Chain A
Amino acid sequence: MGMAAVVRSARPVVCYRPVTLPASRPLSTLALALIPRAVALNLALGAVVGALKLPVYLDSVGTILVAVLAGPWAGIVTGIVSNSVLGLLVSPTLFAFIPVTVVIGALAGVAGRLGAFRTLAGSLAAGLVIGIAAALASAVIVIALMGGLTASGTGLLTIAIRATFGVSVTSAAKIAAVVTDAMDKPLSCALVYLVLERLPRRITARFRGAAA
């Protein structure tokens, strides 16, 4: 068979599947790449808080950061993945608090879309709202699963509130959660604001482009 016949009888073969990105994606690639680092950040900031001996957790900074940069859905996903991974690495108790991280991610994303993180005052206000909502969600879980007390400083605070004000355990648990989160979340949001100020404009612009 001559060369011309070989060429004529050859059939086209596609060796590699063409890469076609879906038209609409739930999360941009940039958000997908950022979320694992944000999850790790939620855990790693514990070392910084421990070194500074601060009476806060700062375990939602990564979730809030992703929510503000990439939107509420990305924030919700970060919260779910964060507590799932921490549940696997630290304690299964954290699985029960996944709804709290969902609330934090959703509200931080909405606050980011509304422009709350453009100023420090706006960030602190957003942190207060997120803190109160997260505290109420957390208190419902603590009351349902643990009888209103956690094996932590918040549990002791609940007893102290019950002793001081004579309120029921349910109310004391809610007040303790609000007090704790009302300190933690505004500080987390202020930290996110400071980070956003320091981020290269190129990166924030990429997030805005991906969200559009």
Chain B
Amino acid sequence: MSAALDRWNPITPLAVAVAMVVAAFAGPQPWTAALVLAIALAAAYAFGAGGRVLRLAALVALPTFALLVLLAAAFPDAPAAHRRWVPTEAAVMDALAIALRLGAAIASLGVVIAGVPPRRLTRALAARGLPAWAAYLVIASLEAVPDARRGADEVLDAQRCRGVAVGRGTGLRGRLRALPALAGPLVVGLVVESEERALALDARGFDPRARRTALVPIADARGERWLRAAIWLALVVLLGWRLVALVRSFTIAA
């Protein structure tokens, strides 16, 4: 998956994904969202991450659709109150539009998330002007997550060995009492560790406002820059068109 997108500057797939999200929400419903979802899933399968992206989108879109239809069926609006448990066509279409929009947005961004390593994306954004401190925070956070997860598992194991009651059999009050014993050492450990990191940053003269120089710059071809410019222009036109349509609808209503 990453090999297919490695040929591109990471900002280009990100711009395409953002444009697809905006189109899914701003275009005529539900067909624009359905089209965006289909394109995003096709791209994901073409890049070899179809399963992961489909799972990400389905995990949110399908339960949302089911819950919205259930809600509309169980509590119909006044005109359809005599038809309880039979959702109206309008309610199903509304639920479908919302679920498709969510699915389209998640699938579009999911292609970028699955296909572009976050570190590479951050480096590309830093080359385009993202401040050094922001780039440091994103990369350091990505690196800190596995360590913190490991730390949480170690604290859990250590406290279980010492006899701290964990699990359903202990009752809610007992489990709440166990919370400081489990979370406390983890949080205190991370704060103390951050002091050491701060000393290391100061010792190296870390300047949060300095512009970083990349050892291996990420290529940004002229064609990609033109493509991104075209995408931003298309977005402005789309949003302008939606704004005009909105103003017209208000004018007609008035």
Contact = CB atoms under 8 A, between A and B. Distances in A.
Contacts of B144: 36-37, 39-40
A41 B71 contact: no
Interface stretch (B148-156, B222-230, B236-244): B148-156
B54 interface: no
B59 interface: yes
B148 A41 contact: yes
Main secondary structure of the interface of B (DSSP, over half): helix
B5 interface: no
Given A40-B148, A155-B67, A162-B75, A48 B182 contact: yes
Given A149-B67, A151-B67, A198 B188 contact: yes
Interface stretch (B31-39, B79-87, B206-214): B206-214
B75 A163 contact: yes
A7 interface: no
Contacts of B188: 195, 198-199
Contacts of B206: 29, 32
Interface size class of A (residues with CB under 8 A): 35 or more
B175 A54 contact: yes
B10 to A, nearest CB: 12
A32 B201 contact: yes
Interface size class of B (residues with CB under 8 A): 35 or more
A33 B133 CA distance: 10
B113 A21 contact: no
A108 to B, nearest CB: 15
A67 interface: no
B141 A36 contact: yes
Interface of B: 56, 59-60, 62-64, 67-68, 70-71, 74-75, 94-95, 98, 101-102, 105-106, 109-110, 113, 118, 133-134, 136-138, 140-145, 147-149, 151-153, 155-156, 166-168, 172, 175-176, 178-180, 182-184, 186-188, 190-195, 197-198, 201-202, 205-209
